[in-house]
Amino acid sequence: MCAAAAGCGTGQLEGGASADCASQVRLDDRVYTSHGFTNRDATRFAEADRAECHDVGRNAPGSVFPDQPAHVTAWSFAGYPTDKVLGVRFDEDSFGVYVADTVSRAESERIFQELRPDDLLSDREIALAEAVLREEVEEQRQQDATLESASVTVGSGRVKQTNTGETCDSGRLLHLRLIGAFPHIVTTGFPGASAEEMTVRAVLLTADAESGQVCLVGVKTGEVQPLPGATLLDLP
């Protein structure tokens, strides 16, 4: 976000202190602070002031708006009032989400959760994925599995045909991939398949992103890697 909208970061002050620079813009005397990014479409709205990062020296103020600030194009998101949230171009496909400092913390979080990319995991979803992983790892190690990596992606969808008896109907799914060697999992493969092609290399779990319930369990053979863009999880 720093390159897109404002200089930001943490600077070291004299005596070892530090000043933080929030990425901020200002429009109509209202200050907006960056909360993350989104791939939601936006419409060009207005020119906003861009904050500078003053993080050097004793008692450095951090993020400030100079008397003659640089400008950046602000964008609006359909359905969201511009006195609460603006977008600032991050790259060709995404915008920084800037929420007005006058908005409450709870509402700021709600706005960002609604605007964030569909494939971006929330902290709660990562915690749910880790809980699912712990249970699965314990079971697999009891079956002499050797585990190499675990990863998770998230997306929209519902599972209509479950093979666990649990449901995934919140509209958002966690897809976990546990890679390793699973000597006691047997698959029939396909006609003419070699022993290598029938060897299970990954266990695949689909869980509801709200409840954490696992509604699908599958396996994958052959060479397996984490999905592109997946979040790697630490093995328990």
Tell how far CA 106 is from the center of its chain.
19
**Which tens digits make up the pLDDT trace of 137-160?**
999 999 999 999 999 998 878 898
Q: Which residue type occupies 32?
A: Y
> What is this structure's pTM?
0.55
CA dihedral 219, 131, 181, 196 (to 10 degrees): 20
Is 219 a residue whose pLDDT tops 90?
Answer: yes
The domain ranges of the chain are 2-115, 123-233
Residues 15 and 56: beta-carbon distance below 8 Å: no
Token pair for 53 = 């990062």
Average predicted confidence (pLDDT) for the chain: 84
Q: What is the pLDDT of residues 106-123, one digit of tens each?
A: 999 899 888 877 777 888
Q: What is Dmax (Cα atoms) for the chain?
A: 75
- Judge whether residue 12 has pLDDT over 70: no
When pLDDT is averaged across residues 98-103 and rounded to a whole number, the result is 96
pLDDT digits (tens, 9 = 90+) for 36-60: 888 788 999 999 999 998 766 666 6
